[in-house]
Amino acid sequence: MTIRILVTDGVDAEGVAVLTAVPEFTVDEVPTLPAAELLRRIGDYDAIVGRSATRISADLLKAATRLRVVGRAGVGVDNVAVDAATELGVAVMNAPAGNTVAVTELLFGCLIGLIRQIPRATTGVHEGRWERSKLMGTELKGRVLGIVGVGRIGGEVAQRAHAFGMQVIGYDPYITDERFAALRVGRMGALDDLLDEADIVTVHTPLTEETTGLVGARELARLAPGGIVANLARGGIVDEAALVAALTSGHLRGATVDAFAQEPLTGEHPFCGVPNLLLTPHIGANTQEAQRNVAVDVCKAVRDALLRNELSRSLNVAAINGAAWRELQPAFVLTQRAAAVARALLAERGLRAVARLSVRCGTELAGSGSALLAAAAVGALEGVMETGRLNLINARSLAEARGIQLSVTEGASGLAPFAVEVMLGGGMSELAVAGAAPPGGTPRLTRIGSFHVDVNPRQTLLILTNHDVPGVIGRVGTLLGDATVNIAEYHQARLAQGGEALAAVSVDGEVNEATRKALLAIPDVLSATVVQFRPA
C-alpha cells in the first residue's frame, strides 16, 4: 500500500523534497486547512507534516486511523496533543536544533534594540525628528545575563553573551554541572537566586505545566529596579499581566516578547502601548536558513520513521542514550520476542493476566532500558488485547492502563554486556526469558526459565517440554516434516538426565493448531507452545 503524507502550513520546499524523492511516498502539499476540512481528510494519511498553524488535536488523532507520524517543522509541539498521540501509538517528531541560531540572534537584536532605543530612533528620523539627545542608551557589556533553561538555545545565548562581555548565570535543574562548566555559566540552585543577581533575564524553556507562569509577579519583583525581561520561547512562561504591571510601574526598565499566550496579538491586548516593551510577532524562527533547516530535519525524521521504523527522533518514545537507534534494533527485537515467549508459556500454564513485567539488561545496553521495557511491553501485549496500534510509543502506557507493574534494571550483574532478561509474572507464577543481541548481530534466546538454549527467534518458535527419553526428537522432526514445516534450528536442553527437557525449535512459516495437537499426541511430549512473531 502506498504511504501517503500530508504536508501543510507552507513547509520549506527543501524539506518537502526529502519526502517526494521516496518512490513509496505519495505527498499531498496543501495550505493550512480549516479544522473541519483537515478532520475530514486526515483518515487517508500515514503522516502529517506541518508548522505551528495546524492544531493536531486529540479528536483529529482519533480520526486519523492510518496515522503513524506527526512531524512538526520547528521546536515547540504545544499545537500537538502529545499525550493523545502517545496513547494511540503515533510518533511525534520535531526539529529542535534547526532554529537555534535564528532565535539566539533575534534575542540579541531585540535586547540591543531595546537598550539603544532603536525602534524609537528610526521612527523619529522617518517622521522628521532629530531626537539624538533623548536617545541615551546603555551597553550589554558588564551586565549579568540570567538564562532560564540552559538547553540548545540557552547554550547558544550563553556563548554569544560572553562575546558581548556579559557575566552569564543560569538556572536549569535538568542540565548537568558539566554542561554549565563547559558553557562558562554560573549555576544557580534556584530561580530566585538567579533573579536576585541578574540584570537581564531571558527564558528558553518549553511550555509545560511546570513552566506555565514560571515568571510571575513575585518573581518580577525580585529583580532589581531597572531589570529587563525577554521571552522568545513560549507565551505563558512569563505572566503577561504581571509583566505589564512591572513595566507600567517603572520597576522594570524594559522587556522584549516574541511569543504570546494567545496569538495573533490584537490591538486590544494590554501589551499594546506599554512603554519600553519591544514586541515582535513570533518571528524567532523566521529566517530562511532556520525554516530550511527545520523542514529538512523533520522530513528526514518522518521519512526514516515510515520506511525503517526509526523512532530515535520521536518525542514520545523512550529516549535512547549512548547508542544509535539502528545499533539497538537487534536488542529491541530480542526483548519483544522474549516477552512474547514468556507470555505464551505462562498462558499455557493457565496465567492469562500478566501483572508484572521487568527487564534487566547488561552494561552495554545501559541508557536504553526504558526503550527495552517498551519493547517488552509490546511482546507481552501483542495478540492479547484489542488495539489498532501497538508499538514502542504506546506500549508502556497501555500496559500500565491494564495494571501491569513495570520495572527496569540497567547494567544488571550476572548478565553479559549485550544481554537482556525479561520476566513476566502474575500471582505466584512467573517466568524469565533471556538472550543476547550485539549491535548488528542476530538476536539469540539463551535461556527459557531454567533451561539454557541457543536459538534465533525468527518467524515462529515452537517450544516443547518432554520427558528426557530417546526417540522424542526424531518423532517431532518426522511429524513436522510430514506437516511441511521446515525446521531452521532445533535446540534441546535438559536440567538432568532422565528428567524434563525443553526443546526450542525455530521454524519457517506457521505451525497450525492441528499440527500442535499432533505434537501433543506424541508419547512423552508434555506441552507444545507455538509463538508466532510479528515482523520486526
Residue 467: CATH number of its domain? 3.30.1330.90
Q: C-alpha grid cell for residue 376?
A: 517488552
Q: Is residue 320 part of a domain?
A: no
Report whether pLDDT(296) > 90.
Answer: yes
pLDDT per position as a tens digit, 178-194: 889 999 999 999 999 99
For residue 24, give the CATH number of its domain.
3.40.50.720
Same domain, 86 and 115: no
Q: C-alpha grid cell for residue 318?
A: 523512550
The span from the CA of 271 to the CA of 260, in Å, is 10
Find the catalytic residue in 282, 303, 313, 491.
Answer: 282
pLDDT confidence tier of residue 174, bands split at 50, 70 and 90: confident
Same domain, 259 and 402: no
pLDDT per position as a tens digit, 369-396: 888 999 999 999 987 665 557 888 888 8
Of 139-143, 412-416, 458-462, give the lowest mean pLDDT range.
Answer: 412-416
Same domain, 91 and 116: no
The structure's pTM equals 0.67
Same domain, 351 and 261: no
E runs forming strands in 427-478? 429-436, 444-448, 451-455, 460-467
The span from the CA of 448 to the CA of 505, in Å, is 12
pLDDT confidence tier of residue 133, bands split at 50, 70 and 90: very high
Q: Which residues pair with 511 in a beta bridge?
A: none
According to DSSP, residue 502 is labeled: E
Same domain, 215 and 181: yes
Q: Is residue 478 part of a domain?
A: yes
CB of 78 closer than 8 Å to CB of 88: no
Find the catalytic residue in 234, 360, 396, 491.
Answer: 234
Nearest C-alpha neighbor of 72 from the set 96, 89, 90: 96
Q: Calculate mean pLDDT across residues 524-536.
A: 89
Find the catalytic residue in 37, 263, 400, 510.
Answer: 263
Same domain, 124 and 149: yes
Hey, is 326 helix, strand or coil? Answer: helix
The span from the CA of 414 to the CA of 429, in Å, is 23
Same domain, 92 and 117: no
Per the annotation, the verdict on 263 as an active-site residue is: yes
State what percent of residues in the chain have pLDDT above 70.
Answer: 97
Report whether pLDDT(399) > 70.
Answer: yes
Q: Which residues of 139-170 are buried (b: 16+ CB within 10 A; e: fewer)?
A: ebeebbbbbbbbbbbbbbbbebbeebebbbbb
Nearest C-alpha neighbor of 257 from the set 145, 110, 153: 110
Report whether pLDDT(282) > 90.
Answer: yes
Report whether pLDDT(325) > 80.
Answer: no
CB of 137 closer than 8 Å to CB of 115: yes
Report whether pLDDT(403) > 80.
Answer: yes
Peptide bond into 264 cis (omega under 30): yes
Same domain, 469 and 331: yes
Q: Calculate mean pLDDT across residues 454-461.
A: 93
CB atoms within 10 A of CB 300: 18
State what percent of residues in the chain have pLDDT above 90.
Answer: 75
Same domain, 379 and 391: yes
Amino acid at the residue 213? G
- Structural domain boundaries, residue 301: 3-97+290-308
pLDDT per position as a tens digit, 230-261: 999 999 999 999 999 999 999 999 999 999 99
Report whether pLDDT(270) > 50.
Answer: yes
Per the annotation, the verdict on 282 as an active-site residue is: yes
Q: Is residue 464 part of a domain?
A: yes
CB of 444 closer than 8 Å to CB of 435: yes
Hey, is 210 helix, strand or coil? Answer: coil
User: Rounded to an integer, what is the distance from CA 291 to the centroid of its chain?
Assistant: 22
Q: Which residue has the cell 525503517?
A: 308
Hey, is 430 helix, strand or coil? Answer: strand
The span from the CA of 359 to the CA of 379, in Å, is 12
Q: C-alpha grid cell for residue 498?
A: 532422565
Same domain, 218 and 332: no
pLDDT per position as a tens digit, 61-118: 999 999 999 999 988 788 999 889 988 889 999 987 888 999 999 999 999 999 999 9
What pLDDT score was predicted for residue 322?
Answer: 47
Report whether pLDDT(329) > 90.
Answer: no
The span from the CA of 378 to the CA of 397, in Å, is 11
The span from the CA of 166 to the CA of 222, in Å, is 20
Report whether pLDDT(212) > 90.
Answer: yes
Q: Name the domain count of the chain.
A: 3
Same domain, 15 and 110: no
Q: Is residue 267 part of a domain?
A: yes
Q: Which residues pair with 368 in a beta bridge?
A: none
Q: Is residue 314 part of a domain?
A: no
Mean pLDDT, the chain, integer: 92
Same domain, 157 and 268: yes
